[in-house]
């Protein structure tokens, strides 16, 4: 596997430590008064999500992680997790519910997602940025409170709860930003 020298570290670099994949989320160069330069890094474990601080000496190198991105189609959810089909090889992969997290509430059948692979196994997923879903429950707006920017919770067809403006009613179709889990707009026919 290729090696990455500490001098080439940058935010977003993918490395292997003890056989596990990490993503560099922060890199700081430190030159103390004596001794060699240091690279203080903050790493995120790519399968567990834990954050780890590690300092590397100048000239030290680590193994690059074989991480690739690809498109995949969400097929269904079962007891084992979420099942995706790779758009190039048509292989099916199951991603654990804990890994998908709250983004699973915004997945619709057939949605094209960005998948993250390590050693030919899926380790992460990013849903489409915007999804369109129907509001299944929300409290009615209080008469007279429609002129200000009042917000209220609304349950959408997947069971997720998002905050919407007071004018949104049951049966309305809304666009949601799945990355931030926020209301974007009401969709008209």
Instruction: Tell me which residue has tokens 């992680």.
Output: 65
Burial class (CB in 10 A: 0-12, 13-18, 19+), 110: exposed
Q: List Cα–Cα distances, 76 to 54, 59, 69, 153, 171, in angstroms.
A: 39, 47, 21, 27, 24
Question: What's the mean per-residue pLDDT of the chain?
Answer: 87
Q: Quick one: which of 185, 183, 163, 176 has its CA closest to 108?
A: 176
Position 125 pLDDT exceeds 70: yes
Percent of the chain that is helix, strand, coil (3-state, to 5): 5, 55, 40
89: phi then psi, degrees, rounded to nearest 5: -95, -15
More confident residue, 12 or 130: 130
- Tell me the pLDDT tens digit for each residue of 65-122: 888 889 999 999 999 899 999 998 899 999 888 888 888 899 988 999 999 888 888 8
More confident residue, 36 or 147: 36
pLDDT of residue 66: 85
In whole angstroms, how large is the CA radius of gyration of the chain? Answer: 22
Q: Which own/partner pairs from 80-83 qualify as long-range (CB within 8 Å, at least 24 positions apart)?
A: 82/107, 82/125
Position 147 pLDDT exceeds 90: no
Position 18 pLDDT exceeds 90: no
- Tell me the pLDDT tens digit for each residue of 154-166: 999 988 899 998 8
Domains of the chain: 3-64 (2.30.30.30), 67-126 (2.40.50.140), 130-187 (2.40.50.140)
Query: CA-CA distance, 119 to 65, in Å (whole number)?
Result: 9
């Amino acid at each position: 596997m290729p090696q990455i020298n500490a001098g080439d570290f940058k935010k977003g670099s993918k490395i292997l430590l003890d056989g596990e994949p990490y993503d560099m989320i922060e890199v700081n160069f430190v030159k103390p008064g004596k001794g060699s330069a240091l690279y203080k890094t903050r790493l995120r474990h790519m399968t567990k999500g834990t954050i780890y601080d590690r300092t590397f000496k100048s000239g030290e190198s680590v193994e690059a992680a074989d991480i690739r991105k690809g498109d995949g189609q969400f097929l269904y959810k079962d007891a084992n997790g979420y099942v995706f089909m790779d758009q190039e090889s048509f292989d099916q992969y199951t991603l654990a519910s804990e890994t998908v997290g709250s983004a699973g509430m915004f997945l619709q059948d057939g949605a094209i997602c960005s998948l993250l692979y390590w050693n030919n196994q899926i380790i992460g997923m990013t849903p489409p940025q915007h999804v369109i879903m129907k509001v299944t429950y929300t409290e009615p707006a209080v008469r007279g409170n429609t002129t200000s920017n009042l917000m209220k919770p609304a349950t959408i067809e997947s069971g997720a709860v998002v905050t919407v403006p007071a004018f949104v009613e049951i049966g309305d179709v809304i666009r949601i930003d799945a990355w931030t889990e926020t209301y974007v707009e009401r969709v008209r026919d």
